[in-house]
A and B are shown apart, each in its own frame.
Chain A
């Protein structure tokens, strides 16, 4: 079964700093990858997703992620974070249209002024 690892439990950044959150998955076949964000007190929202094609995926709010198949990675990046990016970020993977999403443990991002 597939699994997802998010290496950073809690990341603290100053505003305007660059962000990179790590995500690695374990599955040898074709995967579909997602990043979700959960703002305090709110539900999960999709940031971006990768299914095929260009491995560099651009999402909402200036986020992007790069799929590196050889490294089984799908790291999330943002060049300049804002205070409003403070949230929990989850990486998720699924291997087909009939399987549920498998989530990583999440990374809490705190952006300070």
Chain B
């Protein structure tokens, strides 16, 4: 079945630094990837939708200059949290879908970001 690899699984960084999270589709081409953020004991909140080769579409309230998303190839999307602050500490999850087959929403295992 479709597999999405996300790493790192955990990262601790100092306030003011940047962190990059990678999301790879291992056995399919992901034309669309979604980035979610999950706060403790809450649901997944969509941050942005990225389509290969074009700019990401951000949800209202998500700072695009802070959360940089790149989807340069059909198998890789990256989320960079720039100038991270403690309030950015969260669980970030990517999801990939192949083409127009929306039967196949596959999730990565998530990245726990802690900013100290």
Contact = CB atoms under 8 A, between A and B. Distances in A.
21 contacts: A32-B102, A43-B108, A43-B110, A44-B44, A44-B107, A49-B103, A51-B103, A90-B43, A90-B44, A94-B102, A96-B102, A97-B102, A98-B102, A100-B49, A101-B46, A102-B46, A103-B45, A104-B43, A105-B43, A106-B41, A106-B43
Interface residues of A, number: 22
A43 B6 CA distance: 10
Interface of A: 32, 34, 36, 42-44, 46, 49, 51, 90, 94, 96-98, 100-106, 108
A106 B45 CA distance: 12
B54 interface: no
B43 A43 contact: no
A98 B109 contact: no
A44 B93 contact: yes
Interface of B: 32, 34, 36, 41-46, 49, 93, 95, 97, 100-103, 105, 107-110
B6 to A, nearest CB: 8
Given A43-B110, A44-B93, A97-B100, A103 B105 contact: no
Contacts of A101: 34, 44, 46, 95, 105
A25 to B, nearest CB: 13
B109 A100 contact: no
Nearest to A32: B102
A103 B44 contact: yes
B93 A105 contact: no
B46 A43 contact: no
Given A49-B103, A97-B100, 12 more contacts: A32-B102, A34-B105, A43-B93, A44-B44, A44-B107, A51-B103, A97-B101, A98-B100, A101-B44, A101-B95, A104-B43, A108-B41
Contacts of B42: 105-106
B107 A103 contact: no
B100 A100 contact: no
A51 B102 CA distance: 10
Counting chain A CB atoms within 10 Å of each CB, the highest count among B41, B45, B49, B102 belongs to B102
A100 B95 contact: yes
